Amino acid sequence: MPIAKNIDDELYELNKLLSEKEEFQLDREYQKEILEKERKFLEDLKTANEVFDKRTLMTLFSLLAGKHLTEYIGIVNSGKEAVVFKARKGKFYRAVKVYRVATCDFKTMSKYIQGDPRFHLRKSSRRQIIHAWVEKEFRNLRRASEIINAPKARLRRENVLVMDFVGYRGIPAPKLKDMQDLDWEKYFKIIKESMKKLYEEGELVHGDLSEYNILVKDDEPVFIDFSQSVITQHPLAHPLLIRDCINICNFFRRKRVDCNYKDLYKYITGKEIDPIDEAMIKQL
């Protein structure tokens, strides 16, 4: 019996060592894989002339290391305040929006956040405001995507937001402004119904709606970019909605659709435009 027990013990220790060795080897291979992804990502950034602070780079790498993303593929759009990357999670494509901490208009951001009862900023640091801004967009997207055609937000981390990619096999869907020969009457009807549903059911106002922030996929409009969106209780909700109505009607009138921003506003809210709210548009 003692001999058998010793043999069992030795086999157990041997299996344990083998298991630890295999685990160590797998861990080393995974680390090599992550390092290769980091190297490729840095090279892509260098080629695209994109510069981020060290903390942002660490956040982007952590999404790879945590297996939230498989790889970054390239840049879809680059602006003063944010960069949007195309990425993959397994066989699914993702859009990764990265806000630039150094160049964001944090004063405007603060104005939109302070009036939102969902957020209470204790400090006014630039990074904290941007983190709250990303959290706001994350929540807005989650709410909107349950009601209208909008990308679903997947996760947020500091100044980085990951959401569904709107496109075809990794090719971004075109913007409404770039489309030709659509049934413009049909699209106006869908968009105004979506604006109404967003207002009534989601209690949200997009706040920056135009032909630039509407994509076309599967012959349907898709609303994107909900960073400026506010809840209907926000002090700026109605001025922003009036501006959205003006933008949408200006675009569709150029497409020979008979529409008026005051009628659109009344269709969405059931009320006439308050002249005070309309006058506030100049301050936005």
Distance, CA of 141 to CA of 227 (rounded, Å): 9
Sort strands 82-89 and 92-99 into parallel, antiparallel or unpaired.
antiparallel
Q: Which of 208, 218, 219, 263 is catalytic?
A: 208
Contacts by residues 73-79 (CB-CB < 8 Å, ≥ 24 positions apart): 73/170, 74/44, 74/48, 75/44, 75/48, 75/50, 76/172, 78/48, 78/50
Strand partners, 222: 215
**Structure tokens belonging to residue 224:** 């994107």
Quote the CA–CA distance of 224 and 213 in Å, as a whole number: 5
Question: Does residue 225 carry a catalytic annotation?
Answer: yes
- The DSSP 8-state label assigned to residue 175 in this structure reads B
Give the Cα separation of 151 and 75 in Å (integer): 18
Name the H helices within 162-232: 184-200
248: its two tokens: 């949408």
How many whole angstroms separate alpha carbon 74 and alpha carbon 14?
A: 46
H helix intervals, the chain: 2-47, 54-65, 106-114, 126-145, 184-200, 237-254, 261-269, 275-279
Q: Which one is catalytic: 9, 178, 218, 225?
A: 225
Contact 214, 254 (CB under 8 A): no
Catalytic residues: 208, 225
